[in-house]
Every structure is written in structure tokens, then in C-alpha cells.
Amino acid sequence: MRILGIDPGYATTGFGVLDAQRGAFRLLNYGTITTPTTLTFPERLVMLYDDMTALLDTVKPDAVAVEELFWGHNVTTGIGVSHGRGVILLAICKTGVPLFEYTPNQVKQAVAGYGGADKHQVMEMTRRLLKMEKVARPDDAADAIAIALCHARSATSLLAGKGL
């Protein structure tokens, strides 16, 4: 099963691609989609949609896992990220690929074993579980890998039940 993990944003969207087979996980690719600040906000959303569509066409995932939004202190930034997340969800839904959404605490629980784990603990456990030499950078890509890993670990029992 090829899983595409997405850490949504409008300025920077992280992505991570994993192969999950019978409880074994292999990192295939990761990176970010960025939109330049020189564009208007609507133009950035169009660019994000086009780039997300191209990523989906290239990766051809069996499932996409997206992090749900966590509202921090900056509501203005949160609203922009919400718009970006909506564009990302639209691009995914138009492909017909199954979409799964996870809260930050679900990702932390699945990867680090503790829903209150800090960012560095999750990044280090992701590195260890995927046998990476170092933690992925930038953080948006590392977060997306953890989201994909969350889905891979959550779906393992479902895959085993289907003989996959």
C-alpha cells in the first residue's frame, strides 16, 4: 500500500510517501510544496491546487492521510491554513483516492506511543521506525512523514484482515 501523508498549509505543505506492507514500512520520498509570497493569496491557492494535483498524479497513492488543523494562538494564520487545507482536500477528493484524517494527538500516539509527545520525540521515532540516517527536513516534510506513518500503523490491522 502506497500512502501519501500531507501536512497542510498554503505557504508550505509537507508531503511524505511510504510503502506499507504487512507491518513493514519504507520511506519512498518526501518534500514540500511551496507558494511564493509574491503571489496574491488566491493565486497561491491555485498554485497549491495545481501542485497537489501533480503530486497525486506522480505518486499514485492507495491512500492519503492528512493532518487535521490544530488552532494555535494566531487565528489569522489558521484561517489561511484552513483555506489551503480545503484546496488540498479538494484535489485529493477529485482523484477518488481514499482520504483519512488524523489529529495531531493521534499522530503522536501512533508514532511515539504517547499523545502528549513533543515534536522532537515524534521526529526521532519517525527516523528510527523508518531507519533513516537523520531526521527529515524541513519540519513540514517530517510532519507529513509522521502522518503517513500514523496511517500505516493504524491501517496495519485492517490490511492483515484483508490478506494484504
0.85 exceeded by pTM = yes
Q: What is the pLDDT of residue 71?
A: 56
Element (H or E) spanning 47, and its range?
Answer: helix 41-59
Cell of 140: 513540514
Categorize the per-residue pLDDT at 77 as very low, low, confident or very high, splitting at 50, 70 and 90. low
Quote the radius of gyration of the chain (alpha carbons, Å): 15
Indicate the range of 19-33, 92-106, 132-146, 148-162 predicted with least confidence.
148-162
Backbone angles phi, psi at 59, to 5 degrees: -75, -35
Q: What is the pLDDT of residue 160?
A: 46
Q: What is the mean pLDDT of the chain?
A: 89
Q: What is the pLDDT of residue 158?
A: 53
How is 59-117 classified by DSSP, letter by letter? H--SEEEEEPP---S-HHHHHHHHHHHHHHHHHHHHHT--EEEE-HHHHHHHHHS-TT-
Provide the annotated active-site residues: 7, 67, 140
Categorize the per-residue pLDDT at 164 as very low, low, confident or very high, splitting at 50, 70 and 90. very low
When pLDDT is averaged across residues 30-42 and rounded to a whole number, the result is 96
- pLDDT for 38-52, tens place per residue? 999 999 999 999 999
Structural domains in the chain plus CATH codes: 2-161 (3.30.420.10)
> Strand 24-34 vs strand 63-67: parallel, antiparallel, or unpaired?
unpaired
CB atoms closer than 10 angstroms to residue 80 = 17
Categorize the per-residue pLDDT at 70 as very low, low, confident or very high, splitting at 50, 70 and 90. low
- pLDDT for 100-126, tens place per residue? 999 999 999 998 888 888 888 999 999
